[in-house]
Amino acid sequence: MTERPSRSSSAESSSEGTRHTRRRVLATGVVAAAVVVATGEILVADVLAVTAAWTVPTVLVVAGLWWYTYANAAENSSGDTAGSGESDGGETARAYATLGLPTGVTLFRGTVIAGVAGVAAVAAVGGYSPVWAWAAAVGYGVAAALDAVDGFLARRLDRVTRLGGRLDTAVDAFGLLAAPLAGVVLGELAWWYLSVGAARYVFVAGKWWRDRTDKPTFDLPPRASRRVLAGLQMAVVPLALAPGVFDAWMPLVTGVAAGGLLLGFGRDWLYVSGRLRSAATRPQTSSAEH
């Protein structure tokens, strides 16, 4: 009969794994920042103001992403729900000392999206050109396409972690804020489409406020439509950013896509606040689906 590791030994292993993870986060963060600075020098070395306009915000976003990873390094384990050393099913959670390929892909996606945010800054200081619009379109398109890759690799390599899931959600949400912002500044998207990027942050802030004021908060029932609607935005935004591509149709397409997503958030708020009930809703818990 196999003896399960004690909770203390599991906790020690988790703590050691967290320290190793944080060291790797710091090392890779320095490399990522250096790559961003070098890329800025190569792309726009002839105009100092444009170089700074792209490099500074891009480095700041990358630094924020790596800080978020460092802060949540304790969740770099298989199924550990609360740092207890045990998974959801009661099995001992495995603490990883490395970030792993799936999380590496997610961080790469976040770095590319940081570059898209830098494009918005370039356009804001008057550095617009179709080349920048295409760079934003291709960059966000690549990041969106890789959204399916990191999850597939995590399942395939048996490296599904709470850290990976947390980063994936954060990168997706920021991407749907940064890319539409670039589109608005570049003149490729209407200003109201920024509501798509703001919706999740408003939703999370609303849940936080309900918890803060001791109001009951309910779980969201499972809905496949959430992923579908988010995926639709990720498909529409690169096309909208590309100058001259389906421009005549974009107001209608973006309006339908944004409307569906916002209606979905509105419906989910009714569930969270208890105004709409389903068999799956439970009080005083939170959901990671948004």
pLDDT tens readout for residues 153-194: 999 999 999 999 999 999 999 999 999 999 999 999 999 999
Per-residue model confidence as pLDDT tens digits over 58-93: 999 999 999 999 999 999 988 644 444 444 455 566
- Contact of 217 with 211, CB cutoff 8 Å: yes
> 């760079």: which residue's tokens?
135
pLDDT at residue 283 greater than cutoff 90: no
Question: Please, which residues bridge with residue 86 across strands?
Answer: 92
For the chain, give the percent of residues with pLDDT over 90: 61
pLDDT at 92: 61
Tens of pLDDT, residues 112-136: 999 999 999 998 887 677 888 999 9
DSSP single-letter state for residue 244: T
- Indicate the Cα dihedral angle 157, 114, 148, 84, nearest 10°: 50
Q: Helical H runs in the chain?
A: 7-44, 48-71, 100-124, 130-145, 147-156, 162-186, 194-212, 225-241, 250-272
User: For the chain, which residues make up each domain, given as ranges?
Assistant: 1-188, 190-290
The answer, yes or no, to whether residue 9 has pLDDT greater than 60, is: no
| Residue 260 contacts residue 230 (beta carbons within 8 Å) | no
What is the pTM for the complete model shown?
0.84
